[in-house]
Amino acid sequence: MSENKNVSQHADWSLRELDRRRFLQTLGGAGLGVAAGGLLAACGAGSGGSTAGIVHTTAGAGLAASTPKPGGRLRVANAGNGTSESFNPALVASPIDFLHANSVFDVMVRPAPNYGREPGLVMQWNPSKDATSYELKLRPGVTWHDGKPFGADDMIYTLRFIGQPKNLGNAAVANVRLDQLKKIDELTVKVPLKLPIADLAAYFLDLNASYVVQDGATDFTNPIGTGPYKLESFTPGQQAVLSANRDYWDSPRPYPDELEIISIDDSTARVNALLGGRIDICQGLTFADARANLDGGQYTVVVGAPGEAYTIYMRCDSGPFKDVRVREAMKLIVDRQQMIDDTLSGFGTVGNDIMGHGARYFDHGLPQHSQDIERAKSLLKSAGAADLKVTLNTAPVLPGFVESATVFAQQAAAAGVQVEVKQEQVSSYFNPAISFLKQTFAQDIWAAPSLNGYYSQALLTNSPINETHWHSASFDRLFYKAQGATNEQEAQELWSKLQRIQWKEGGNIAWCYYQSTDGVSSAVRGYGGPGTGWMYGNDDLRVWNWGLG
Amino acid sequence: MTAANETPRSARPAATGASAGGGPVAPSAVRPFLIRRTSQGLITLLAASVLVFLAVSVLPGSPAAAVLGRHAKPALLARIDHQLGYDRPVPERYLDWLSELAQGDLGQSSIGLAQGKQSAPVWPLVRPRLVNTAILAAITIALLIPLSLFLGVMAGVSAGRWRDQVISTTALIFTALPEFVVGSLVIVVFFVWLDLLPPVSLVEPGETPLAHPDILVLPVLTLLGVSVAATARLVRVGTIEVLRSAYVETARLAGISERRVLRRYVLRNALAPSVQIFAISIQYLFGGVIVTEAVFGYPGLGSELVSAVSSHDNTVVLAIAVILAAIYISINVIADLLVILLVPKLRTQG
């Protein structure tokens, strides 16, 4: 029996290796370039698909990605969030809180290597023929940390919990008839929808809308989850100590006996903690540190798969960017690879102005936008905007934000466009009461694990985060059609249509699909490997896989 | 943070012309002074609290916006702001906060309440951080005073000679370096090169840093690096001034041994201005602690303040700011009192 298990595990592992290789191949020659010299692989903005600047790590990555041994105490650090840190899955917003929630709770859908999906607590999403209703088959044999069995009541409560306006993931259930959820049996829930959605699970790839909570849970000071670890002690802004859940359904995971999640705000102090052996995993390595240690340094650098998009966005309904020719010109002004090299130390692949890199139905086939100053100039001239002057609002939200705004301003000057970079405070930049959604020309970053999620939140007439102020009734209709298309081929065609519109006319200059950089010690196993693109700051948030060798 | 370099001039007058003697001080003479300085201190604290409260109030954004991020609908933000009382006028909120503070209550964490917690008192959040910072500061001060006195007097006594040159030049270099540079330097030397000490000073919650003294060494060295240098230079100046004074010359001419002159006449008189210098250095230290804590990931008051500012936990910011202001002001009062005790002449002056 145990032999069988070993064999299947081994088979599982080789499959992953194979996937990894295939993934590198699909990214073209870039992968080989990395093996040779890391950053030299910037082949320029080529035609079609993505050009990888850096793919996953070279030296040591195989080891880091292999299966851990049972036991030990794994210590992982990321930038903290002070007294705001929490285990409340409704409010998870910072990288450290994603670590917290991912260790105590389970998600409905797990991200898998190569932008794939694996069942979490929901085994099957079975749609009705017209996709207006779903039957969710729940994972059997799952128990909560307090010993109660997990079942349909918990799932129903979770969906309603997500729907609360204060829950950061509430958009995911906007089309679910929360008042008509029905328990069919202990492990089956009927979920009626307001309109057809062919891929409901996609909405729950949004981490905020993915954690399953216990029926009736409101206070998460002592969180009860079904996840790989149980919380032992928590001091916000400092440290959380967790112990392995030995009744975990995904046995033999988790491998370590204990997990320590440590908040270290200063990035240098965080790396020093790794070098000093005080932690095993340092998430959020600075680009400079990552670059210096990429080819085998004092620790292994794990580079995530390209995912989250850095974008400079334009308001489409008024002001200078109302004219689509001006928007197109702006997309042709930017030298994407230079921007990635200069502001992200090369950690990203060139973006093509559409979101959701790696997500299902993402269109890799659109021609790559690249710098064409002459064409930009003529477009501007025909739009009567040859001497365009605009203000680009930026804020030090993430590394590279302010820097890329500055680089953009320099590049725009070549086309005769004057861009004045105006730096704001982070706290007001994303505050809807102050600046957010009121800007004509600004920046953002989007983790878009599904197209449904991104398009419904950002590009529909009634979208809550419609930064580009993209209002088009026909686009809305096309979106609902694509979302409801149950035929795979039809769905792909419709999604491609939507993406082509955005690529050509939309208000996003999504210049980069960014890659996260983490540092791990030689003792770490089960970390990194083929990336998920499931970002939120760090590509690998699969806490259940991590361990020591 | 530049205070240490600027203030010594105002701190000096206490010394010059002070007599070498000074018998025991009658408590009756000190009491009115103490009452006057303490009440002055309280007024200063009150003024500081008004300033901090105003500063926090004009910061763009609110705890609710910080918690809910860009997903927040304005109506929801307004509702939470209302629950937290953020829609009330600033003076009203200030008076409420002040009356709670007067009763020893630092209030509830704004972020905690915005997240929907029923109760999130600030004091349990701040207390362990305060203890950690106090430990770091206390050790530094305990070393700072004797070290800078020793180096300062030694340099002063041998002013212009090689010993002074070495001490003064080294001190000048260190004075010019900010904490994060000194911090990085000591990490390079003691961790990267010598591999003797840990480069971070993480403390497990509920544990005292004293349980692992090795983690305190580099932060203390960093703080000493920046503070001893500046302090010793000031002590040196004080010593030189005393050495040039008439009474030291008289003592020397009277044939009193140089050792005795140094101990009885020079040291004692150099000590009075030094008390003020130390007060300033210690105050400066609390500013330097913020940077040093960040460099070493040490969970103290400074790092808590920084993260509270960025996460908009206004009540935590207020609490820490008031605690720091109270420490500042108490150090001032204590230093003044010490000077009075050391220099009787000042007691009779206004």
pLDDT in tens, A32-48: 222 222 222 233 333 33
Calculate how close chain A gets to B60, using CA atoms only, in Å.
Answer: 6
- Considering only CB atoms, A168 lies closest to which of B71, B117, B204, namely B71
Contact (CB<8Å) A171/B71? yes
For B125, the closest chain A residue by CA position comes to A83
CB–CB contacts below 8 A, A to B: 140
The pair of structure tokens assigned to A256 is 């370590």
- Considering only CB atoms, A272 lies closest to which of B76, B199, B303, namely B199
Q: Are A507 and A472 in contact (CB under 8 A)?
A: no
Contact (CB<8Å) A276/B295? no
Contact (CB<8Å) A430/B70? yes
Contact (CB<8Å) B65/A433? yes
Q: Please state whether the predicted TM-score (pTM) of the whole model is above 0.95.
A: no
3-state secondary structure of A509: strand
For residue B29, what pLDDT band results from cuts at 50, 70 and 90? low
Instruction: Please report the pLDDT score of residue B346 as a whole number.
Output: 64
Pairwise CA distance, residues B256 & A410, whole Å: 75
Q: How many residues does chain A have?
A: 549
Q: Look at residue A28 and tell me whether its pLDDT is greater than 80.
A: no
A462 interface with B at CB cutoff 8 Å: no
Asked if the ipTM is above 0.85, the reply is no
Residues of chain A with C-beta less than 8 angstroms from the C-beta of B312: 427
Give which of B67, B70, B115 to mutate to test A binding, by max A Cβ within 10 Å.
Answer: B70
Calculate how close chain B gets to A195, using CA atoms only, in Å.
Answer: 23
Calculate how close chain A gets to B291, using CA atoms only, in Å.
Answer: 10
Q: Are A220 and A230 in contact (CB under 8 A)?
A: no
| Residue-averaged pLDDT of chain A | 85
Q: Look at residue A472 and tell me whether its pLDDT is greater than 60.
A: yes
Dihedral in degrees, nearest 10, Cα atoms A436, A437, A439, A441: 110
Q: Look at residue A382 and tell me whether its pLDDT is greater than 50.
A: yes
Across A7-22, average pLDDT = 29
Element (DSSP H or E) covering residue A133:
strand A133-138
Across A70-88, average pLDDT = 92
Give which of A83, A207, A234, A443 to mutate to test B binding, by max B Cβ within 10 Å.
Answer: A83
DSSP A277-324: TS-SEE-S--HHHHHHTTTT-SSEEEEPPS-SEEEEEE-SSSGGGGSH
Pairwise CA distance, residues B199 & B210, whole Å: 17
- What pLDDT digit, counting tens, does each position of B63-101 carry? 888 887 776 777 888 888 888 888 889 999 999 999 999
Contact (CB<8Å) B312/A275? no
Strand partners, A301: A519
- What pLDDT digit, counting tens, does each position of B115-140 carry? 888 888 999 999 999 999 999 999 99
Q: What strands, in cross-sheet order, belong to the sheet with A300-303? A: A229-235, A239-244, A258-263, A73-78, A281-282, A517-520, A300-303
- Burial of residue A195, with CB atoms counted within 10 A of its CB: 0-12 exposed, 13-18 middle, 19 or more buried: exposed
Instruction: Please report the pLDDT score of residue B302 as a whole number.
Output: 87
Single out the residue of A424, A405, A429, A419 nearest to residue A321, CA to CA. A419
The pair of structure tokens assigned to A67 is 């299966």
In this structure, of A72-81, A428-437, B311-320, the range with the lowest mean pLDDT score is A428-437
* Three-point CA angle A297, A340, A360, nearest 5°: 95
A258 interface with B at CB cutoff 8 Å: no
- DSSP assignment letter at B192: I
A222 interface with B at CB cutoff 8 Å: no
